[in-house]
Structure 1
Amino acid sequence: MPGTRQLEPSRTSSRNPGVAAAMSALILAVLLASLDSTIVSTALPRIAEDLRGFDNIAWVSAAYLLASTAVTPLWGKLGDMFGRRRLYLVSTSLFLVASVACGLAQDLPQLIGARVLQGVGGGGMIVLTFALVGDIVSPAERGRYQGMFGSVYGVASIVGPLLGGVFTDQLSWRWAFLINLPIGAVTLLIAARVLPATARKAAARIDYAGALLLAAIATGIVLVTSFGQRWGWASPSIVGLILATVVLAALVVPVERRAAAPILPVTMLTSRTVVLSSLIGFAANAAMFSILLYLPTYLQIVDGVSATLSGVHMLPLVLGLVASQSLVGRWSARVERLRLILVTGMALNVAGLLLLGTLGAGTGTVVLSLYFLVAGVGMGMVPMVVLTAVQNSVPAEDIGAASAVVTFARSIGAAFGVAIFGSLLSSNFAHRLHGLPASGGFDPARPDTITLLPSGVRQTALEAFARATGTGFLWLLPVVALGTLLAVFLVPRRTTAADAPVAAGTPRGSATRAPAA
């Protein structure tokens, strides 16, 4: 393609300046998409006040999560069919246009609609970024580069709420969206120049039925996990959504078997590597996002620190995550160690949850920092290892679809973990209050109102909230323990130094087909 810089496949792609430039664009894209799911959290109260939409404010976050999850399989397959570079540019442009619409929204329906479009673009940016790594670097080096993205997630989870608070207090909540424009413009400029162009498949046909089916399943799961507690887990709406989602899931295999170009090839559903990696990613993300979301809340309520200082207290977790991602990226070049790394990482996730399960109002800062460090190291060792294992197990032309499967599973895992943790935290907190009367404006449904309690009973409520938080982490243990067991049975494809990425402009079909695991 004219004007597109060619990336030469090389055993030493880490030294190729073209690879470094391409990776910088991809990292910026992941930063944009991941920040946008966290930066809004601290701005929501002000948004609700300005747009007069307190009753439906939860949809501002849920709309983005729902849209980004629902479109993940479609973006992955379209990237395989029409070339990931052009789809990446389209999804990033859509994300930026939607960011402008979010920043200019005059009422809540406008903002929610713009968030849906933003989620559609953000979902494409994430899955196509992961797939593009498979085009740029060799299988033996994918783990090293994929590991960078996990660090970006960790940083975004801490920096996002802080930036949201700063923008809301010092400028306007609208800047939580408008800040995407300068970063996104740089991302597009770099990506247009250096990302590799891949050939379009001949006579490609879009699997509309499969795309709609998977989008409907994702919608059902996200709605159940996001609103189960609010609507009531036994309410007709939630029960109906669960039943409908189960029925739709049962239709996936027969529908995709009939499709000429299935969005989710049935061979992936029968691949041990793809299935196990997706389940492990689900379990790991359930723990990871629960920790990232609720630990700052614990610090702000129990320790009484500000949003900014809660981010400072979380630094040991972020440092552990970034350090383990860097080391894992180097170790995973030796594929025979991939399973050992994964099992170790999942085991450390279990250890981190056990440690966090002991949280109390009197837990000291030094002890907390140690707990955070262990949890961070475990979190950093898992996500990109499972993605690398999957990409190395499928034919080159299916890397996008395979990446989408794992990304889809991880997104659902994150929504599941956060929803279940939140529900358990609320119910356990209410149970531990032991009939503590509401007084002075205290509302058991809002732990942040504990500060309004008289000093004589405030410590009791703080201890109740701390213990409820710890119990929530313990309830996640069975999910992560199962993921650890599954990691023992994962047998990744062995790569060699001779494996090479696809050069820009090389037809995907001409790449050597890797045996499915």
Structure 2
Amino acid sequence: MTAQRDETALAGPPDRREIRAVFLGLMIVMGLGAIDQSIVATALPRIVADLGGIAHLSWVVTAYVLASTATMPLYGKLSDQYGRKPMILAAVLVFLAGSALCGMARNLPELIVFRAIQGLGAGGLLPLSQIIIGDLVAPAERGRRQGSIVAVFAVCSVVGPVIGGVITDLLSWHWIFYVNLPIGAVGLFVITRALRRPHRIQARRIDYLGSLLMTAATTALLLVLALGGTEWPWDSPEIGICAALAAGLGCWFVVHVRRVPEPVLPLDLFANRTFVVASAVMALASMGLLGSSVFFPLFFQAVMGVSPAYSGFLTGPLMVGVVVSSIVNGRLLLRSGRYKPAQIAGLSLAVVAFAVLAWGAATARGFLVIEPAITALGLGLGLVMPNMTIAVQNALPVPHRGVGTATLVFFRSLGGLMGVTGSGAILAHALQAGGGALSSAPDAGPGGIATLSPQAQAAMIELYRHAIATTFELGVAIVAAALVALLFMPELPLGGHPAAKQQAPAEG
């Protein structure tokens, strides 16, 4: 009788206490995934010294990124079918199992395999957390919660390298993985206790072939993006084979999902204009942001001449801007119930910020120009990405909300990888074009410029300055394309907002 009363109570709208408890568990889980990459990056030199194999060191990061990105849409679909709670618990358990195995790795090949296992779990942490928030909180109130999510990622990106360095110095690199276990256990306990929303499980046929084709095609594409021009030359047989596999498996996947009644990635999603435009905007915005911001530390060290530690401090305003605008945006969304005006303003501000960065880098402007532009870039993008998740969840019907949200996160990750790869190729080409300066000091990276003669120093600094300015110019073009695409996205009334005539209908 008591259990029946509890189930009836849980069938109603969640109260503030339940939302806060679930949100605490989700923030712990998202923090695990957000902080992992920066902690591991700090410990890589010590890992190489212990395990060797520096030629394959990049695979420690690449294996994790490939596995996590490829599995994001799959987690969304499975959560629609089997429920949010079982899937997020499974994702956390796989992530923790991979963390424990990474800590026990005895050589680099083992660590790479275990990092892939860890990535298989990490692929569900962010999308499932956003899906659960979408289930519990009305779209009109969701913006206020998104600020906390962004704050988690901002704090983790700042403290991650510090924590990684401290743990590695005081204990060993093994503990950067073991530390996930107690934190993850707390997250599991909180989510298990707090997340008790009933989910109607319907007997459905699982699209095993579609899942396999989607994962394999995505992995082949990500291998091209992640390793092209670095581990493998662009004209190498490996790149050709992976590109051919990505194209072939992708075509097979499209043919397959048109034929099966319940595909792993429903084509109905792509009939929804909000989802299609949102995916394009997220991919382009992430491409521009990561493709350019990844070179901020290089710009500060090689061109501005600051130390590595201080360069991290100078990059901080980017995340400060994102957090501030996300929090402000949540309050504005709660009042107005409109998300598109803020997105247009945000992308417009980001275009101007990238233009100022490109001009400032090319014309040797100082911190008084560069730092405000970086802050403005964060402020602009903080108005775009949280709102886009809200727009998609508001536009999709409940049966497709999980896979739609996860696929949106997938496109964001894919865009970021494309941005980093493309900008890296452009930077390398620009540096190679200045062969005269490089020939005198082929290994003169940021740390080696100070050892050159004054003439060679000036030549190298100018070379880096104009090469990085080129990546900022690329950011202008990409974010401007995102702004144009955004203009074609419809704005639907937000469910749960007083201004809405009715609950936001499923578009398309």
**Structure-1 separation of matches of 2:101 and 2:240:** 34
Aligned equivalent of 2:229? 229
Q: Label 1:66 to 1:455 Cα distance change in 2 as closer, same or farther (>3 A).
A: same
Aligned equivalent of 1:369? 371
Q: Are the equivalent residues in 2 in contact too, given 1:40–1:176 (CA < 8 A)?
A: yes
Aligned equivalent of 1:437? 439
**Structure-2 separation of matches of 1:379 and 1:126:** 18
**Structure-1 separation of matches of 2:198 and 2:81:** 9
**What are the within-5 Å matches in structure 2 for residues 258-337 of structure 1?**
258-333=259-334, 337=338
Q: Label 1:305 to 1:173 Cα distance change in 2 as closer, same or farther (>3 A).
A: farther
Q: Are the equivalent residues in 1 in contact too, given 2:289–2:475 (CA < 8 A)?
A: no
Aligned equivalent of 1:413? 415
Q: Are the equivalent residues in 1 in contact too, given 2:134–2:142 (CA < 8 A)?
A: yes
**What are the within-5 Å matches in structure 2 for residues 185-264 of structure 1?**
185-230=185-230, 231-264=232-265
What is the CA distance between 1:377 and its match in structure 2? 0.6
Name the stretch that deviates more: 151-160 or 128-137: 151-160
What is the CA distance between 1:116 and its match in structure 2? 0.6
Aligned equivalent of 1:400? 402
Aligned positions, number: 499
1:199 match: secondary structure: coil
**Structure-2 separation of matches of 1:349 and 1:498:** 28
Aligned equivalent of 2:162? 162
Aligned equivalent of 2:127? 127
Q: Label 1:481 to 1:78 Cα distance change in 2 as closer, same or farther (>3 A).
A: same
Q: Label 1:466 to 1:328 Cα distance change in 2 as closer, same or farther (>3 A).
A: same
Q: Label 1:352 to 1:247 Cα distance change in 2 as closer, same or farther (>3 A).
A: farther
Q: Label 1:273 to 1:261 Cα distance change in 2 as closer, same or farther (>3 A).
A: same
Aligned equivalent of 1:85? 85
Aligned equivalent of 2:448? 449
The one-letter code matched in structure 1 to 2:325 is S
**Structure-2 separation of matches of 1:164 and 1:332:** 37
What is the CA distance between 1:124 and its match in structure 2? 0.9
Name the stretch that deviates more: 464-473 or 78-87: 464-473
**Structure-1 separation of matches of 2:162 and 2:149:** 20
C-alpha root-mean-square deviation of aligned residues, in Å?
2.5
**Structure-1 separation of matches of 2:171 and 2:355:** 41
**Structure-1 separation of matches of 2:371 and 2:31:** 25
Name the stretch that deviates more: 234-243 or 378-387: 234-243
What is the CA distance between 1:421 and its match in structure 2? 1.2
- Would you say 1:484 and 2:483 are equivalent positions? yes
- Would you say 1:516 and 2:507 are equivalent positions? yes
Aligned equivalent of 1:356? 357
**Structure-2 separation of matches of 1:164 and 1:298:** 23
Name the stretch that deviates more: 155-164 or 320-329: 155-164
Name the stretch that deviates more: 384-393 or 488-497: 488-497
Q: Label 1:150 to 1:433 Cα distance change in 2 as closer, same or farther (>3 A).
A: farther
Q: Are the equivalent residues in 1 in contact too, given 2:7–2:198 (CA < 8 A)?
A: no
The one-letter code matched in structure 1 to 2:506 is P
The one-letter code matched in structure 2 to 1:443 is D
**What are the within-5 Å matches in structure 2 for residues 12-27 of structure 1?**
16-27=16-27
Aligned equivalent of 1:508? none
The one-letter code matched in structure 1 to 2:184 is G
Q: Are the equivalent residues in 2 in contact too, given 1:280–1:487 (CA < 8 A)?
A: yes
What is the CA distance between 1:472 and its match in structure 2? 1.1
1:201 match: secondary structure: coil
What is the CA distance between 1:360 and its match in structure 2? 5.3
The one-letter code matched in structure 1 to 2:211 is A
Structure 1 vs Structure 2: percent identity of aligned residues?
A: 35
Q: Deviations over 1:141-173 (max 9, x none)?
A: 122223432333333333333333343344422
**Structure-1 separation of matches of 2:72 and 2:405:** 9
Name the stretch that deviates more: 344-353 or 170-179: 170-179
Q: Are the equivalent residues in 2 in contact too, given 1:345–1:382 (CA < 8 A)?
A: yes
Aligned equivalent of 1:505? none
Q: Deviations over 1:418-451 (max 9, x none)?
A: 1111121122123235344334xx516x444333
**Structure-1 separation of matches of 2:8 and 2:308:** 43
Aligned equivalent of 1:35? 35
Q: Deviations over 1:333-386 (max 9, x none)?
A: 357531111111122221222122132594323322211111111121111211
Q: Are the equivalent residues in 1 in contact too, given 2:494–2:504 (CA < 8 A)?
A: no
1:261 match: secondary structure: coil
What is the CA distance between 1:513 and its match in structure 2? 9.2
Aligned equivalent of 2:153? 153
**Structure-2 separation of matches of 1:31 and 1:368:** 29
What is the CA distance between 1:302 and its match in structure 2? 3.2
1:357 match: secondary structure: helix
**Structure-1 separation of matches of 2:304 and 2:278:** 37
1:313 match: secondary structure: helix
The one-letter code matched in structure 1 to 2:429 is S
2:24 match: secondary structure: helix
**What are the within-5 Å matches in structure 2 for residues 501-512 of structure 1?**
none
Aligned equivalent of 1:383? 385
The one-letter code matched in structure 1 to 2:491 is P
**Structure-2 separation of matches of 1:121 and 1:485:** 35
What is the CA distance between 1:498 and its match in structure 2? 6.6
Aligned equivalent of 2:143? 143
The one-letter code matched in structure 2 to 1:375 is L
Q: Deviations over 1:81-134 (max 9, x none)?
A: 111112111111211121111122110111111111111111111111111011
Q: Deviations over 1:370-424 (max 9, x none)?
A: 1111111112111121111111111112211111110110110111111111121
**Structure-2 separation of matches of 1:196 and 1:346:** 38
Name the stretch that deviates more: 363-372 or 478-487: 363-372
Q: Are the equivalent residues in 2 in contact too, given 1:5–1:195 (CA < 8 A)?
A: no
Q: Are the equivalent residues in 2 in contact too, given 1:224–1:242 (CA < 8 A)?
A: yes
What is the CA distance between 1:235 and its match in structure 2? 2.3
Q: Deviations over 1:27-48 (max 9, x none)?
A: 2212211222232223222212
What is the CA distance between 1:7 and its match in structure 2? 6.1
TM-score scaled by structure 2?
0.91
**Structure-2 separation of matches of 1:170 and 1:430:** 41
Name the stretch that deviates more: 305-314 or 367-376: 305-314
1:202 match: secondary structure: coil
**Structure-2 separation of matches of 1:246 and 1:434:** 39
Q: Are the equivalent residues in 2 in contact too, given 1:157–1:292 (CA < 8 A)?
A: no
For structure 2, the 5+ residue unaligned runs are none
**What are the within-5 Å matches in structure 2 for residues 51-70 of structure 1?**
51-70=51-70
Q: Are the equivalent residues in 2 in contact too, given 1:146–1:384 (CA < 8 A)?
A: yes
What is the CA distance between 1:200 and its match in structure 2? 4.1
